[in-house]
Amino acid sequence: MDFAFDPADEAFRQEVKAFLADNLPPEMARRSSTNYHISRADTRAWTAILHKRGWSAPSWPVEFGGTGWSLMQQFIFDQECFFAGAPLLETGGLKMIGPVIFTFGTPAQHERFNEPFLRGEITWGQGFSEPNAGSDLASLATRAERDGDEYVINGRKIWTSNGQYANWLFCLVKTDPNERQRGISMILIPADAPGVSIQPIIDIGEAHNLNEMVFDNVRVPADNLVGEEGKGWSYAQFLLENERAFSAEVPRNKRNLALLRRIAADRKKGGRPLAEDPVFASRIEQLQSDCDALEWMTLRALTAKKGGDTSLPVGSILKVRGTELQQKIGEMQIEALGDYGAVVYPGEDYLDTDLMGPGPDYAPGVLADFLYRRAVTIYGGANEIQRTILAKRYLGL
């Protein structure tokens, strides 16, 4: 492993920084730099800015309108964008179903979705989990039955993130109820198709991101099947490996650690800044070591991938370490905030009106993020399951 960025990568970093300085609207950066959920309007506006430069699909190959960047360039781009406060791009399309479609989809599906993907015009919902199929996803029961040129879909999906904004859903369905994995297919469903109903689920932070979806005799053209019937399980594994790798969130961990340092430098204990308390300071340094290790682990994984080594379940490793670190940093932020750690700040009002509410300017958004991040060790496949994958595939147990 080479510990230094090569000069070409450093030059690329400067190019990205200059682009951000010239093109990222400061108001948008201010809104996205808080830990509240990013508005759809900002995501779309930022995607349009990137699209003009040909950068709206940083991880895609050139033939599908992507940048063709190396993994290292993507890492640098993601990091610089995050630090500058750029909104995150639409992950459901760009990082989840998009790569599945350009790898396994039909030419008609490329034609239909490619340009909207690049322009960020579609919001996607991921319809995998069901009330009785989470960790044991292969026991999903939503049924898709072929009827002439259509599939008729009946069933129930749960925990659909951002489902209330979705225009399209990519779903796992059973096309053969007598099989487990081999009976599963992946299908694209318009969110406004007759028979689709979406109900909100309000989370622990009183936010609405999650949804339950019911399919009642929903008819979609057979052409909406992704790839081949019965291959949905392998497409889902491909998608989930990508989802897990980005859920490590190195840039977010670094930014939240910097915020923790800022809070600890300002808040007092016994008349002295918390950052000068030896026990608290040593706990922060432990998190710093964990964060550095996560970053190097990510770079090592990128280097290995570049060399063609795909033997490690890298997504599972990064997901476990990165998500647990997010939670530990959040816990210390709340502890350092003291009484203000318990204050609920009104997200949208704060962003729209500069209404500060009680407390220092770094306090809003911390509790909301802390509560939301209880879920990071669950979604994308619970960490206990990732550890089982690692035990089997990496340690051979």
Binding interface with ligand FAD (CB under 6 A): 126-129, 134-135, 159-161, 210, 375, 378-379, 381-382, 384-385, 388
Structure tokens that stand for 66 in this block: 């992507």
Minimum CB separation from ligand FAD for residue 226, in Å? 15
Q: Find the shortest distance in angstroms from Cβ 202 to ligand FAD.
A: 12
The least CB distance from residue 5 to ligand FAD, in Å, is: 34
Q: Which residue number is nearest to ligand FAD in terms of Cβ?
A: 134
Q: In sequence order, what are the residues at sequence separation of 6 or more whose Cβ sits closer than 8 angstroms to the Cβ of residue 26?
A: none
**Of 90, 243, 249, 295, which one is the catalytic site residue?**
243
**CA-to-CA separations, 248 to 95, 245, 273, 294, in angstroms, rounded:** 14, 6, 31, 8
Query: How many Å apart are CA 128 and CA 141, to the nearest integer?
Result: 10
Q: How far is the CB of 107 from ligand FAD (least distance, A)?
A: 27
CB of 17 to ligand FAD, least distance (A): 32
Residue number, 73 or 91, with CB nearest to ligand FAD: 91
- Which amino acid is it at 234? S
Beta bridge partners of 114: none
Distance CA 330, CA 346 (A): 19
Ranges assigned E (strand) in 45-183: 124-127, 143-147, 150-158, 168-174
**84 vs 378, which CB is nearer to ligand FAD?**
378
Nearer to ligand FAD, 268 or 392 (CB): 392
* Minimum CB distance to ligand FAD, residue 42 (Å): 20
In the beta sheet, which residues pair with residue 129?
Answer: none
Residue with Cβ nearer ligand FAD (85 or 315) = 315
Of 73 and 185, nearer to ligand FAD (C-beta) is 185
Q: Take residue 386 and report the two structure tokens written for it.
A: 């990732």
d(CA 137, CA 382): 11
Q: Smallest distance, Å, CB 142 to ligand FAD?
A: 11
The rounded distance, in Å, linking the Cα atoms of 157 and 161 is 11
What values do phi and psi take at 300, rounded to 5? -65, -40
Given the complex with ligand FAD, which of 66 and 380 has the nearer CB atom? 380
In terms of CB distance, is 34 or 209 closer to ligand FAD?
209
Furthest-apart CA atoms within the chain: distance in Å: 76
Residue 337: how many CB atoms within 10 A of its CB?
Answer: 24
Ramachandran class of 171: left when φ > 0, alpha when ψ lies in -120 to 50, beta otherwise: beta
Give, to the nearest 10 degrees, the angle between helix 71-84 and helix 250-266. 30
Contact 30, 85 (CB under 8 A): yes
Q: For the purposes of burial, counting CB atoms within 10 Å of the CB of 339, is it exposed (0-12), middle (13-18) or buried (19 or more)? A: exposed
Tokens of 231: 């291959």
Of 83 and 165, CB closest to ligand FAD: 165
Least Cα distance to 160 among 184, 136, 139, 191 occurs for 191
Least separation in angstroms between residue 133's CB and ligand FAD is 7
Mark whether 335 is an active-site residue: no
Q: Which residues are catalytic?
A: 243
